[in-house]
Amino acid sequence: MTATPEKIAGVVRPQLERLLAEGGSFGDARFYAEDANQRLMLYDGNLESNTRTDEQGIGVRVLWHGAWGFAATADLDAIPACFDRALANARAAAQLPGFPKDMGPARPSKGEYVAPVEKDPFDVPLADKLAFLKGLDEQLKGEGIAQRVVSARFQRRRIHYWNTEGTEVSRRVMNTFATMMVMAPDKDGRTQRRSVELNSDGAGTRGWEWLADENCFAGHAERIKQDLAAILAAEPLPPGRRDLIILPGQGFLQVHETIGHALELDRILGYELSFAGGSHVRPEMIGKLRYGSDKLNCRAGVTANSPGTFGYDDEGTPQRDYYLIKEGILVNVLSSRTDLGEANARAGREVVKESGTAARACAFYRTPIDRMTNINIDAGPDGTLDDIVRATEDGIIVDTPVSWSIGSNREHFHFGTEIAWEVKDGKRGRVFKNTTYQGHTLEFWNSLDKVGDESTWKLQSVPNCGKGEPNQIMELGHGIPVMRFKNVQTGEKE
């Protein structure tokens, strides 16, 4: 059939009513009228990825006697059969019952979200996009540079959502991601690299205009070449304990791995144990646990221009902005409607009051799970990066992940970064290579002693967060200021 949302709605609405009539307690359907991704990648100037992927289909979820069933199909003539399958799956799941899932009080909503875009990247001719990327690749050429990578990805989605409570919302999501990287071997034969991702201050719009904004991307080409030259000439970071100043280009991953994932309610409740892992946080710790120093204020934010902003989550709940950690105390977690009752029962008191609007699915053929949205750290009182450097006796500044490895309950971590700058007696000095640092999550966040002001705050996109079974890749954002941590184990001891 020709798949207009109106036609699909005409098929879906009576099916949702049928679910309730057959004993289901809740049901919903997500129709992806469009899910388009374009991936372009130049590797050493050669166009190695020049592809577009289009997906269209519907995913149906049914809650039956406290258990979920899900089914998906791209065959839009088979929607009633897809509802049958989802219901049958829910019935099978309900054979081995646990804590019964429920959606809590009904909160019907109606509305539309349209991501802020000036120029739709899919309307820009491919030849123009490639000319732009080729221009950047030319800028990255230089003496001593062995490999160059320039890539961009554009995503456009039109999603329609209906549920048995009467919620009907639609979304037009648009995302733009881009990376530039230069690589070269150092005198020890180890490949060093320096890169930059398309970033912003969280304002602005998400279309082609963002990528074209010099400040957000293209303007950094020269800088990463200069940084790489400095890394190639640098000595390895000597191991030792010292203060660690983390720029947003690294801080986003620190937050992502040791706060974001640890605060996903499905992980906390043990639903991700066999794949992604659990969490060191238990439900009863919500409202009590000192996660970090009182300088730490972390929120699930609604940032205007971020892939973690989507209007309504995949349960149709309007996205909201709330604290996860307030002055160092854990006050909330990332949740959807379905696990709130279980979290409160396990804690023995009400620790989560309403959905954290974090139910997100990566495609029509995946079911929503608890995901990060924009996990942001509030800017702090400690001034600019220069102010923080001036206040540091012995430390390093680090930027941009090379490697990351985190304990399965997010209780400890090991990160490698592209670059480090030495800080001695309040002055930024020489560059180090082969930088790594490691720590234990709570001890580390409790050593946070300086948080930079608004001038240091940057929005970093994450295009590839992995989680879930079946596996799902998700897009999200992190708004992060410059942060300083005291007395961190850095470098590798033999």
Residue whose C-beta lies closest to Zn ion: 465
Q: What is the arrangement of strands in the sheet containing 199-200, beginning at the earlier edge strand? A: 199-200, 458-467, 472-480
- Burial label for 347, CB within 10 Å (0-12, 13-18, 19+), is middle
Q: Which does 429 bind (CB under 5 to 8 A by kind): Zn ion, other proteins, none?
A: none
Q: Which does 185 bind (CB under 5 to 8 A by kind): other proteins, Zn ion, none?
A: other proteins
Instruction: Say which DSSP state 312 is in.
Output: B
Instruction: Say which DSSP state 290 is in.
Output: B
Q: Which of 116, 112, 90, 99 is nearest to 28 (CA)?
A: 90
Please state the closest distance from residue 276 (CB atom) to Zn ion, in A: 8
Q: Choose which of 5, 116, 277, 383 interacts with other proteins (CB under 8 A).
A: 277
278 belongs to the binding site for other proteins (CB under 8 A): yes
Name, in order, each residue with C-beta under 8 angstroms of 135's C-beta and a sequence gap of 6 or more.
Answer: none
Contact letters for other proteins, residues 32-71 (x by CB under 8 A) = ----------x--xxxx-xxxxxxxx---------xxxxx
Q: Which C-beta is closer to other proteins: that of 88 or that of 212?
A: 88
Q: Rounded to an integer, what distance in angstroms lies between the CA atom of residue 90 and that of residue 61?
A: 9
Q: Choose which of 93, 115, 150, 218 interacts with other proteins (CB under 8 A).
A: 93
229 belongs to the binding site for other proteins (CB under 8 A): no
Cβ–Cβ < 8 Å for 477, 256: no
Q: Which C-beta is closer to Zn ion: that of 334 or that of 465?
A: 465
Q: Which C-beta is closer to Zn ion: that of 164 or that of 461?
A: 461
Q: Which of 47, 40, 200, 46 is nearest to 125 (CA)?
A: 40
Please state the closest distance from residue 264 (CB atom) to Zn ion, in A: 9
Please state the closest distance from residue 26 (CB atom) to other proteins, in A: 14
Q: Which C-beta is closer to Zn ion: that of 15 or that of 400?
A: 400
Q: Which does 367 bind (CB under 5 to 8 A by kind): other proteins, Zn ion, none?
A: other proteins
Binding positions for other proteins, 363-422, rule CB under 8 A? 365, 367, 402-409, 411-412, 414, 416
Please state the closest distance from residue 250 (CB atom) to other proteins, in A: 14
Q: Which C-beta is closer to Zn ion: that of 164 or that of 374?
A: 374
Q: Which C-beta is closer to Zn ion: that of 12 or that of 263?
A: 263
Beta bridge partners, 29, equal 60, 162
Q: Which does 233 bind (CB under 5 to 8 A by kind): Zn ion, other proteins, none?
A: none
Whether the bond into 401 is cis, omega within 30 of 0? no
CB count within 10 Å of CB 381 equals 9
CB environment 404-423: b (16+ within 10 A), e (fewer): bebbebbbbbebbbbbbbbb
- Amino acid at position 456, single letter: T
The token duo for 121 is 């990247």
Q: Which C-beta is closer to Zn ion: that of 259 or that of 451?
A: 259
438 belongs to the binding site for other proteins (CB under 8 A): yes
Cβ–Cβ < 8 Å for 156, 36: yes
Q: Which of 382, 397, 390, 386 is nearest to 454 (CA)?
A: 382
Cβ–Cβ < 8 Å for 332, 322: yes
Q: Which C-beta is closer to other proteins: that of 367 or that of 446?
A: 367
255 belongs to the binding site for other proteins (CB under 8 A): no
Q: Rounded to an integer, what distance in angstroms lies between the CA atom of residue 169 and that of residue 162?
A: 7
Q: Which does 345 bind (CB under 5 to 8 A by kind): Zn ion, other proteins, none?
A: none
Please state the closest distance from residue 372 (CB atom) to Zn ion, in A: 7
Cβ–Cβ < 8 Å for 155, 53: no
97 belongs to the binding site for other proteins (CB under 8 A): yes
Window of 116-124, 152-160, 182-190, 240-248 that interacts with other proteins by CB under 8 A: 182-190
130 belongs to the binding site for other proteins (CB under 8 A): yes
Contacts with Zn ion by CB under 5 A lie at 465
Q: Rounded to an integer, what distance in angstroms lies between the CA atom of residue 312 and that of residue 423?
A: 44
